[in-house]
């Protein structure tokens, strides 16, 4: 398969996202032009290391590049002050310098943590993202948001620090569980819903075969998603405006993740899918989009075998007021008003604070009653 490239034109921080198969095997050739000395830092986590570290080391060695590796425990809890401190102290102990490159090999947790460690170590090392989950390939590895969680919430400490290169090898997706793949698909479908009816229609036609493992379709879905993200990030790198569109479904999602204790009752991408369906429902009831749109969105998510409604989340949930309260903790809140991403139709999202709480409460209440 030919490699595809999405260029992210951010001036002196511009970089390429390379998408295709067998990329990890040619990581050395891809990364070599960035290096001053042929030695790199690799930071990963134990599960991913067991699956992909050998292939990466061989791919680097093929271009004469050696590496030192730090492997951290898997899971969201690594993305905290302790994980950051371990990564930074290790980079300093290993004497990585400003001219060196750090490789983040893993999903969103590793990408965010290593990106932040790279941003603050010696006031900034360059880093390369090799995302191993679908969610990381289409969203978190691109755009430069890095950070960690604190006891106050997720991603509250961090920095914008763009990678120097992203290698999205779709072969790596073969090792994901079906549930993790579909959770990542929540972020893929989000791009169609927020910005491109054409892409959503393409997904309606091709996403089942893509989920079954078709590498060409996977590469095309990743390329389209990354291109849409790059276009938005270039317009608004630090989220002063349009970048918030990438958070379609996320205000509902963050409340649901908090309500389920950030546990495996609800994965982030599953919450995004349910959140998108809720955003369409609120938009339809507000008269912003047609009544058919929410049903079409739900029909596609259900056909993919995804969680679509609050009824698909097992265990207790707070009532509608409790969920609204959790939504009020969102980072997008300004002067106490929740900023919603609403839609005028599939592919036509916009940001507004002008959504009556009573309407959101009604939609949540109805969704809870259907459980
Ligand atoms: N994941 C949303 C963003 O990068 O802005």
Residues 171, 209 within the same domain? no
Q: Is 246 in the pocket of ligand 1 (CB under 6 A)?
A: yes
Q: Are 371 and 311 in contact (CB under 8 A)?
A: yes
Centre of ligand 1 to C-alpha 140, Å, is 7
Centre of ligand 1 to C-alpha 247, Å, is 7
Q: Is 100 in the pocket of ligand 1 (CB under 6 A)?
A: no
Last-in-domain residue among 154, 175, 196:
175
Q: Which atom of ligand 1 is nearest to the CA of 142?
A: 4
Last-in-domain residue among 175, 205, 239:
175
Q: Are 168 and 106 in contact (CB under 8 A)?
A: no
Residues 343, 310 within the same domain? yes
Bridge partners of residue 352, in order along the sequence: 340
Residues 13, 96 within the same domain? yes
Provide the annotated active-site residues: 123, 145, 187, 229, 239, 243, 247, 250, 254, 268
Residues 168, 184 within the same domain? no
Q: Which of 122, 138, 176, 133 is nearest to 44 (CA)?
A: 133
CA angle 73-168-71, nearest 5°? 20
Residues 105, 246 within the same domain? no
Give 339's DSSP letter.
Answer: P
Q: Which atom of ligand 1 is nearest to the CA of 247?
A: 2
End-to-end Cα, the chain, rounded Å: 45
Residues 130, 252 within the same domain? no
Centre of ligand 1 to C-alpha 143, Å, is 7
Q: Which atom of ligand 1 is nearest to the CA of 243?
A: 5
Could you list the pLDDT tens digit for every one of the 371 residues in the chain?
789 999 999 999 999 999 999 999 999 999 999 999 999 999 999 999 999 999 999 999 999 999 999 999 999 999 999 999 999 999 999 999 999 999 999 999 999 999 999 999 999 999 999 999 999 999 999 999 999 998 888 888 999 999 999 999 999 999 999 999 999 999 999 999 999 999 999 999 999 999 999 999 999 999 999 999 999 999 999 999 999 999 999 999 999 999 999 899 999 999 999 999 999 999 999 999 999 999 999 999 999 999 999 999 999 999 999 999 999 877 767 777 888 999 999 999 999 999 999 999 999 999 999 98
Distance CA 314, CA 299 (A): 20
Pairing verdict, β 15-20 and 4-8: antiparallel
Distance CA 137, CA 126 (A): 19
Q: Burial, 130: exposed, middle or buried (Cβ in 10 Å; 0-12, 13-18, 19+)?
A: buried
- Distance of alpha carbon 151 from the chain centroid: 21
Give 124's DSSP letter.
Answer: -
Q: Burial, 180: exposed, middle or buried (Cβ in 10 Å; 0-12, 13-18, 19+)?
A: middle
The domain that contains 17 carries what CATH number? 3.40.50.1970
Give me the pLDDT at residue 34, please: 98
Strand ranges in 135-287 using DSSP code E only, listed in sequence order = 145-150, 153-160, 165-169
Centre of ligand 1 to C-alpha 306, Å, is 22
Tokens of 4: 């595809």
Distance CA 77, CA 67 (A): 26
Q: Which atom of ligand 1 is nearest to the CA of 145?
A: 4
Last-in-domain residue among 175, 197, 216:
175
Tokens of 160: 């914008």
Residues 56, 97 within the same domain? yes
Pairing verdict, β 349-352 and 153-160: unpaired
Distance CA 12, CA 10 (A): 6
Give me the pLDDT at residue 176, please: 97
The domain that contains 359 carries what CATH number? 1.20.1090.10
Distance CA 133, CA 131 (A): 6
Mutate to test the pocket of ligand 1, among 242, 246, 249, 272 (most ligand atoms within 8 A of CB): 246
Distance CA 89, CA 289 (A): 51
Give me the pLDDT at residue 183, please: 97
Residues 146, 222 within the same domain? no
Q: DSSP characters for 50-97? A: IIIIHHHHHHHHTTT-EEEEEEEPPSGGGSSHHHHHHHHHHHHHTT--
Q: Which structural domain range is residue 310 located in?
A: 178-369
Tokens of 325: 């309260």
Q: What is the pLDDT of residues 92-113, one digit of tens each?
A: 999 999 999 999 999 999 999 9
Residues 41, 147 within the same domain? yes
Give me the pLDDT at residue 178, please: 96
Residues 195, 63 within the same domain? no
Residues 157, 290 within the same domain? no
Classify 363 in phi/psi space as left (phi over 0), alpha (psi -120 to 50) or beta. alpha
The CA–CA distances, whole Å, from 197 to 125, 192, 346 equal 39, 6, 6
Residues 208, 156 within the same domain? no
Domain count, the chain: 2
Distance CA 301, CA 335 (A): 34
Give me the pLDDT at residue 45, please: 98
Task: Say whether pTM exceeds 0.75.
Answer: yes
Give me the pLDDT at residue 323, please: 96
Distance CA 297, CA 316 (A): 25
Strand ranges in the chain using DSSP code E only, listed in sequence order = 4-8, 15-20, 39-45, 66-72, 101-106, 126-131, 145-150, 153-160, 165-169, 340-343, 349-352
Q: What is the pLDDT of residues 243-284, one digit of tens each?
A: 999 999 999 999 999 999 989 999 999 999 999 999 999 999
């Amino acid at each position: 398969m030919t490699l595809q490239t999405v260029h992210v034109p951010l001036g002196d921080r511009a970089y390429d996202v390379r998408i295709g198969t067998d990329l990890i095997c040619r990581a050395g050739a891809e990364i070599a032009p960035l290096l001053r000395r042929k030695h790199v830092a690799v930071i990963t986590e134990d599960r991913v290391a067991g699956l992909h570290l050998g292939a990466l080391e061989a791919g680097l060695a093929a271009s004469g590049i050696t590496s030192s590796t730090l492997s951290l425990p898997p899971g969201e809890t690594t993305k905290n002050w302790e994980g950051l401190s371990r990564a930074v102290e290790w980079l300093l102990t290993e004497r990585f310098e400003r001219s060196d490159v750090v490789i983040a090999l893993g999903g969103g947790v590793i990408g965010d943590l290593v990106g932040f460690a790279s941003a603050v170590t010696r006031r900034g090392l360059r880093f390369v993202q090799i995302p191993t989950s679908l969610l990381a390939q289409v969203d978190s590895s691109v755009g430069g948001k890095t950070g960690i969680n604190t006891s106050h919430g997720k991603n509250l400490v961090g920095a914008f620090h763009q990678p120097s290169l992203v290698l999205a090898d779709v072969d790596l997706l073969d090792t994901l569980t079906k549930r993790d793949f579909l959770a990542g698909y929540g972020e893929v479908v989000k791009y169609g819903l927020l910005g491109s009816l054409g892409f959503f229609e393409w997904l309606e036609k091709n996403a089942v075969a893509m989920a079954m493992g078709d590498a060409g379709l996977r590469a095309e879905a990743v390329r389209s998603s990354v291109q849409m993200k790059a276009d938005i990030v270039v317009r608004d790198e630090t989220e002063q405006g349009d970048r918030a569109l990438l958070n379609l479904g996320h205000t509902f999602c963050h409340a649901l993740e908090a309500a389920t204790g950030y546990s495996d009752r609800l994965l982030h991408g599953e919450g995004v899918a349910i959140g998108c369906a809720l955003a369409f429902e609120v938009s339809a009831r507000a008269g912003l989009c047609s009544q058919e749109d929410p049903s079409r969105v739900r029909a596609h998510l259900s056909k993919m075998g995804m969680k679509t409604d609050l009824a698909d989340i097992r265990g207790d949930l707070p009532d509608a007021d409790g969920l609204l309260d959790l939504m009020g903790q969102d980072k997008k809140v300004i002067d106490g008003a929740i900023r919603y991403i609403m839609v005028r139709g599939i592919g036509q999202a916009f940001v507004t604070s002008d959504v009556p709480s009573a309407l959101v409460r009604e939609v949540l209440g109805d969704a809870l009653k259907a459980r």
